[in-house]
Amino acid sequence: MKSTSGFSRRRFVQAGALTAASFAVSSAKTIAAEPRVASGKPAPIKLGLASYTFRNFTRAQMIAFMKQLNVTELNAKDVKDHLPVDPAGEAAALTDYAANGIKLHAAGAIYFRKDEDDDVRAQFEYAKRAGISVIVAGDPTPETLPRIEKFVREYDIRIAIHNHGPEDKVWPSPLDVLKAVKGMDPRMGCCIDIGHCVRAGTDVVEAIHAAGPRLFNMHTKDLTNFTDKDSQVAVGDGKLPFREIFEALIAIRYPGFVDLEYEVHGDDPMPGVIASFSYMRGVLTGMGYMPRSA
């Protein structure tokens, strides 16, 4: 899929230095800020960031990166000091985010290690303290789901089970999640990781329509080879059909966030992250929308 934004992305991908990255962000924001068509209107797609993207960086560093990216919506994970599980550390993180205009909309992936009330409740308390309405669940067993459902009802916090591709013998595809939660509380649903989805042989657009109101979160990435986990590249440099993905999300009136989870170049992710947001904003601009995060 070629860029619809009308400007070269290669300069972003090739940018290795943070100063060059900062310049690229400014350029991207200027371009994205003006709709390409007269009917430009706010995009119904909300772009966010999965904090795992900056897993090798501290919270303070990530906040600085988010300011450069002009992104304020965060799906936080207990990695580094992004959102610690201990209440005091979590409170400090929340204070930092609020002071910098960053809003948390999801937490995860969170892992449910035990099919026990105390363990499950601890995960919900963690999300409740942060004011988060969606838990992205990494690996709950099917046997644990009725217990989790009980806490979903008690806390009114949605569970979005994350698919992890063919290596995951329980949740390789979003379709496997949907089969398991069928008939359960409507707050039991899925987080579609689009890269893992296609590696499981599932069409992303079809999965979005199948999920419908049970789609609570989305992790985005791009691949050059749908059978190779290591072929991840910046969004737009691979083969995933982002315009069609956005159109499907709009069609189901998806209310959640499209969170970039860039998992390669962990020690120097900014060039790829910049390219990814620039491309997604460009696609939305090409569709006639004003990107919300611009």
Q: What is the pLDDT of residue 219?
A: 98
Cβ contact 82:110 at 8 Å:
no
Q: What is the pLDDT of residue 294?
A: 44
Q: Do the strands 222-223 and 232-233 form a parallel or antiparallel pair, or are they unpaired?
A: antiparallel
pLDDT tens digits, 109-143: 999 988 999 999 999 999 999 999 999 999 899 99
Tens-binned pLDDT, residue by residue, of the chain (294 aa) = 433 333 334 333 334 333 334 433 333 333 333 434 445 688 999 999 999 999 999 999 999 999 999 999 999 999 999 999 999 999 999 999 999 999 999 999 999 988 999 999 999 999 999 999 999 999 899 999 999 999 999 999 999 999 999 999 999 999 999 999 999 999 999 999 999 999 999 999 999 999 999 999 999 999 999 999 999 999 999 999 999 999 999 999 999 999 999 999 999 999 999 999 999 999 999 999 986 654
Both structure tokens of 266: 């962990």
Q: Write the CA distances from 255 to 222, 225, 235, integer angstroms.
A: 22, 29, 22
Distance CA 128, CA 123 (A): 9
Long-range contact list for 176-183, CB < 8 A, 24+ apart? Answer: 178/210, 178/211, 178/214, 180/142, 180/145, 181/145, 181/214
Both structure tokens of 129: 């303290």
**Tally: H helices and E strands in the chain:** 11, 12
What domains does the chain contain, in order, with CATH numbers?
10-33+41-290 (3.20.20.150)
Measured over all CA atoms, what is the biggest interatomic distance in the chain, rounded to whole angstroms?
Answer: 56
Both structure tokens of 67: 């300011």
Q: What is the pLDDT of residue 29?
A: 37
Q: Which residues contact 136 (CB under 8 A, 6 or more apart)?
A: 75, 106, 107, 108, 109, 110, 160, 162, 191, 217, 219
For residue 193, give the DSSP letter.
E
pLDDT tens digits, 89-112: 999 999 999 999 999 999 999 999
> What residues does 158 pair with on adjacent strands?
134
pTM: 0.85
Q: What is the pLDDT of residue 139?
A: 87
Q: What is the pLDDT of residue 113?
A: 85
